[in-house]
Chain A
């Protein structure tokens, strides 16, 4: 009987999706040549949002690690760029190196952080973010909340800088999407979800719980650090209270919940929705924030699976080939 059963991962839909995504990224790679300065910098922001949403979803949606302190890595990523640049490193190599350094920091932090569970982990991460904020404030180079500019960026003409930022953000987004995709498709992807659903049961079937959680934790830290470093390259000035603001994590949560927690596609859709809303209403000040909060409320109460989660639950469509489907020969 078992000869007539096999496992399918790729479907024609998922092949079209992957080819389509690759095509979109390939076209976007030429963006600065035809987009004009406004859209080049707007899309840079969108790429950064997608990185943030995808990282928070990997952490919370797949590994069950709900963190409200991811702004720690976002802020530290930017801070490391300031420090490296001050030490004489060229700006763009510094931006590329920052996530690596923060990944090492996250690895060192992980035995402490991952000992905490559920709500304790969430709050513990927030405490860590506040601590990182205070410590960075103590650095004489930063001069407290006065902050410091990434002066070395002024060596680039505005157009060149904009294009470089765009390419770096697009490259980072592609790399982190690919890393999450590869990880979820690997056997570790199934282990991660098992831990999310029941940690003790996962251990009882042989899953290396700590090592698996650590991998996701470090990846998410590196991604948030990349987003922070890239945001610095667009804002130029590093002000601790901007970069260590909990608002960044709030945005990540919003994008992930709206798009669909625990789905690969969800956070990307959520980031695009957030980006559109911000583009249209971002200048309306307080009302924009109220509307954002209200829509988060509407989603969590009535559309808890988010946009993509609802679509996939109703239709069974799987765009990304990360699940397993058993097929039977009739």
Chain B
């Protein structure tokens, strides 16, 4: 449903993402791994429309969205969370989520209330609804980031290292939430360094290095690929 063809992003002379073909089908959950600087987040930004493509194209449900900006793509059904949460700090938790529901989710007021309350409930943030977002700790900020993306009523959710900086116990709380999302039929693309967390959710793994996809397939097969071992552990090990 969400497809990138020959997606390329250059920053000056540096090619962050180099002619990547990437596709995720409906109800699938795909993980993306790779060393720092492999181009994972840049690829996510190209899918979400945060950066314009240098070359290539992105399409959603067969519709070319290459020139569509991030806000419009969100309204079309591409939700995302950021690696470092970006709450609207001077607004309450509820208002943070309500903005997402009424803008990205194109909800009426009443629908927006309902969607916001449901997203907060699912992410375990309902009891924090009236707090100002600035007062939240990291785990709650991650939960809010997730609830906000969810309130936009996405067909596909792009998650950028939602587990980063969390303890194992905290990360597994988020896994529980994401598994629930999957059950509701949301397609997931998830960048994550913490493999054992990722493997609890995903069907397919994509490994990137230096801006290109070096292996993909079933998680255990992709991880056993010589190029992946080399990228992670250095040459000569495989």
- Residues B91 and A194 in contact, CB atoms below 8 Å apart: yes
With beta carbons under 8 angstroms apart, the residue of A2, A193, A207 that contacts B121 is A2
Does B210 count as interface, using CB distance less than 8 angstroms?
Answer: no
A3 to B: closest C-beta gap in Å: 10
Known contacts A2-B117, A190-B98; is A206 also within 8 Å of B71 by CB?
yes
Known contacts A5-B117, A205-B152, A206-B152; is A196 also within 8 Å of B99 by CB?
no
Known contacts A190-B91, A197-B89; is A1 also within 8 Å of B103 by CB?
no
- Residues A201 and B88 in contact, CB atoms below 8 Å apart: yes
- Residues A206 and B104 in contact, CB atoms below 8 Å apart: yes
Q: How long is the Cα–Cα vector from A191 to B101 in the complex, in angstroms? A: 11
Does A200 count as interface, using CB distance less than 8 angstroms?
Answer: yes
Which residues of B in the span 94-122 have a Cβ within 8 Å of any Cβ on A? 94-96, 98-100, 102-106, 109, 112-114, 117-118, 121
- Chain-A contact segment, one of B74-82, B165-173, B227-235: B74-82
Q: How long is the Cα–Cα vector from A194 to B148 in the complex, in angstroms? A: 12
With beta carbons under 8 angstroms apart, the residue of A194, A208, A326 that contacts B88 is A194
B148 to A: closest C-beta gap in Å: 6
B143 to A: closest C-beta gap in Å: 15
- Residues A5 and B126 in contact, CB atoms below 8 Å apart: yes
Does B70 count as interface, using CB distance less than 8 angstroms?
Answer: yes
Query: Residue of A at shortest CB range from B91?
Result: A193
Per DSSP, are chain B's interface residues mostly helix, strand or loop, or mixed?
helix
Query: Residue of A at shortest CB range from B76?
Result: A206
A58 to B: closest C-beta gap in Å: 15
Number of interface residues of A (CB under 8 A): 28
Does B50 count as interface, using CB distance less than 8 angstroms?
Answer: yes
- Residues A208 and B129 in contact, CB atoms below 8 Å apart: no
Binding site for B on A (CB under 8 A): 1-2, 5-7, 187, 190-191, 193-194, 196-198, 200-209, 262, 323-326
23 A/B residue pairs, CB under 8 Å, sorted by A = A5-B121, A191-B99, A193-B99, A194-B103, A196-B90, A198-B86, A200-B70, A201-B82, A201-B88, A202-B99, A203-B50, A204-B80, A204-B86, A205-B148, A205-B151, A206-B100, A206-B106, A206-B152, A207-B71, A207-B104, A208-B103, A326-B94, A326-B126
